[in-house]
Protein backbone atom coordinates (compact mmCIF):
# COMPACT_ATOMS: atom_id res chain seq x y z
CA UNK A 1 0.00 0.00 0.00
CA UNK A 2 2.89 2.40 0.64
CA UNK A 3 3.82 2.16 -3.06
CA UNK A 4 0.31 3.36 -3.89
CA UNK A 5 0.65 6.26 -1.49
CA UNK A 6 4.07 7.22 -2.86
CA UNK A 7 2.86 7.07 -6.47
CA UNK A 8 -0.17 9.19 -5.66
CA UNK A 9 1.95 11.71 -3.76
CA UNK A 10 4.40 11.99 -6.66
CA UNK A 11 1.60 12.74 -9.11
CA UNK A 12 -0.04 15.25 -6.79
CA UNK A 13 3.32 16.94 -6.14
CA UNK A 14 3.77 17.44 -9.87
CA UNK A 15 0.34 19.04 -10.21
CA UNK A 16 0.91 21.21 -7.15
CA UNK A 17 4.25 22.44 -8.50
CA UNK A 18 2.62 23.52 -11.78
CA UNK A 19 -0.03 25.45 -9.89
CA UNK A 20 2.43 26.89 -7.35
CA UNK A 21 4.71 28.33 -10.03
CA UNK A 22 1.80 30.09 -11.71
CA UNK A 23 0.55 31.41 -8.38
CA UNK A 24 3.84 33.21 -7.85
CA UNK A 25 3.55 34.79 -11.30
CA UNK A 26 0.03 35.99 -10.55
CA UNK A 27 1.10 37.62 -7.29
CA UNK A 28 3.69 39.66 -9.17
CA UNK A 29 0.98 41.01 -11.48
CA UNK A 30 -1.56 42.11 -8.86
CA UNK A 31 -2.61 45.71 -9.36
CA UNK A 32 -2.18 47.16 -5.87
CA UNK A 33 -4.34 50.21 -6.67
CA UNK A 34 -7.25 48.02 -7.78
CA UNK A 35 -6.75 45.78 -4.75
CA UNK A 36 -6.91 48.74 -2.37
CA UNK A 37 -9.87 50.30 -4.17
CA UNK A 38 -12.03 47.16 -4.30
CA UNK A 39 -10.36 44.19 -2.60
CA UNK A 40 -13.31 41.81 -2.81
CA UNK A 41 -13.83 42.16 -6.55
CA UNK A 42 -10.10 42.17 -7.29
CA UNK A 43 -9.46 39.01 -5.30
CA UNK A 44 -12.55 37.33 -6.76
CA UNK A 45 -11.36 38.11 -10.30
CA UNK A 46 -7.85 36.82 -9.57
CA UNK A 47 -9.10 33.60 -8.00
CA UNK A 48 -11.67 32.97 -10.73
CA UNK A 49 -9.06 33.42 -13.44
CA UNK A 50 -6.61 31.20 -11.58
CA UNK A 51 -9.14 28.40 -11.18
CA UNK A 52 -10.16 28.63 -14.83
CA UNK A 53 -6.51 28.55 -15.88
CA UNK A 54 -5.80 25.47 -13.73
CA UNK A 55 -9.06 23.59 -14.12
CA UNK A 56 -7.28 20.73 -15.90
CA UNK A 57 -4.78 20.23 -13.06
CA UNK A 58 -7.51 20.45 -10.44
CA UNK A 59 -9.64 17.87 -12.24
CA UNK A 60 -6.63 15.55 -12.66
CA UNK A 61 -5.94 15.81 -8.93
CA UNK A 62 -9.55 14.94 -8.18
CA UNK A 63 -9.40 11.98 -10.56
CA UNK A 64 -6.18 10.72 -8.98
CA UNK A 65 -7.69 10.96 -5.51
CA UNK A 66 -10.80 9.06 -6.55
CA UNK A 67 -8.77 6.35 -8.27
CA UNK A 68 -6.64 5.99 -5.16
CA UNK A 69 -9.70 5.79 -2.92
CA UNK A 70 -11.25 3.07 -5.10
CA UNK A 71 -7.99 1.10 -5.02
CA UNK A 72 -7.82 1.32 -1.24
CA UNK A 73 -11.45 0.24 -0.86
CA UNK A 74 -10.82 -2.78 -3.13
CA UNK A 75 -7.71 -3.75 -1.18
CA UNK A 76 -9.38 -3.45 2.21
CA UNK A 77 -12.84 -4.63 1.14
The tens digit of pLDDT for each residue in 37-55 reads 999 999 999 889 888 988 9
Residue pair 24/77 in contact (Cβ under 8 Å)? The answer is no
pLDDT for residue 36? 93
Residue pair 16/9 in contact (Cβ under 8 Å)? The answer is no
The tens digit of pLDDT for each residue in 50-77 reads 889 889 988 998 998 999 899 889 888 7
Q: What is the pTM of this model?
A: 0.60
pLDDT for residue 33? 93
The tens digit of pLDDT for each residue in 25-35 reads 777 788 889 99
Amino acid sequence: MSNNINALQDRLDGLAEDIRSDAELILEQVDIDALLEDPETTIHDIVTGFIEQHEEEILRGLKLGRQYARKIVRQTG
